[in-house]
Chain A
Amino acid sequence: DVKVTQSSRYLVKRTGEKVFLECVQDMDHENMFWYRQDPGLGLRLIYFSYDVKMKEKGDIPEGYSVSREKKERFSLILESASTNQTSMYLCASSRQGVISGNTIYFGEGSWLTVV
């Protein structure tokens, strides 16, 4: 089975802190994604990566950056955390994007609270 593992399930950080959310997948998928999910807003794409060292902005990239140094690992970075970044963050991966019906696999989510 495909496994997408997010390093932290629950985090509490202070405003202004630099925050790293780590994600690892074990199926050699080319593509990885970071979403955030907020009540009433559904899932929104922050960034995605289709290859090592490659990244593309999603719908809401402001205040975030990403790093993909190895194929299996995709990190989301909050350079200076703010309270409006309190949210659940979801990492996902898929093979060759989602063309030809390929499915996307999600981690369990990381609940971040910024105080």
Chain B
Amino acid sequence: DAKTTQPNSMESNEEEPVHLPCNHSTISGTDYIHWYRQLPSQGPEYVIHGLTSNVNNRMASLAIAEDRKSSTLILHRATLRDAAVYYCILRDYSNSGYALNFGKGTSLLVTP
């Protein structure tokens, strides 16, 4: 799988937007971009995924660069409950592999 690069940590104020970047310069045409997050003492949970177009759901938005070499997870109004580790992962949908490989992610701190 292609590799992703994320900052180790970021900080945000409550109720402000947060932009979490992810670089994936070796992405292939068949890689989906997935985002998961892990709240303290819990297992990771799905946030959003996309292929080429920007995506929105109730949790977040995903902005994908035109060349797909980077993407940004956008939390529109951070809350204290959004403090978590956020993982950006690529997965090739065309092969027979099954598992997601998680890196170290970005630890998001939200302050009141």
Contacts and interface: CB of A to CB of B under 8 A. Distances in A.
Interface residues on chain B, size class: 20 to 34
Nearest to B97: A97
B101 to A, nearest CB: 7
Interface stretch (B17-25, B40-48, B72-80): B40-48
Interface residues of A, number: 30
Given A103-B49, A106-B44, A42 B102 contact: yes
Contact of B98 (A98, A103, A108): A98
Contacts of B94: 99
A31 B43 contact: no
A79 to B, nearest CB: 22
Contact of A42 (B32, B93, B104): B104
Interface string B18-42: 0000000000000010101000011
A50 interface: yes
Nearest to B95: A99
B2 interface: no
Contacts, number: 64
Interface in B85-109: 87, 91, 93-94, 96-105
A98 B43 contact: no
B42 A109 contact: yes
A40 B94 CA distance: 31
Given A43-B44, A56-B98, 4 more contacts: A48-B98, A48-B99, A50-B98, A107-B43
Q: List 9 A-B pairs, minimum CB-CB distance, nearest first.
A: A106-B43, A97-B98, A43-B102, A103-B46, A42-B104, A99-B93, A48-B99, A101-B49, A98-B91
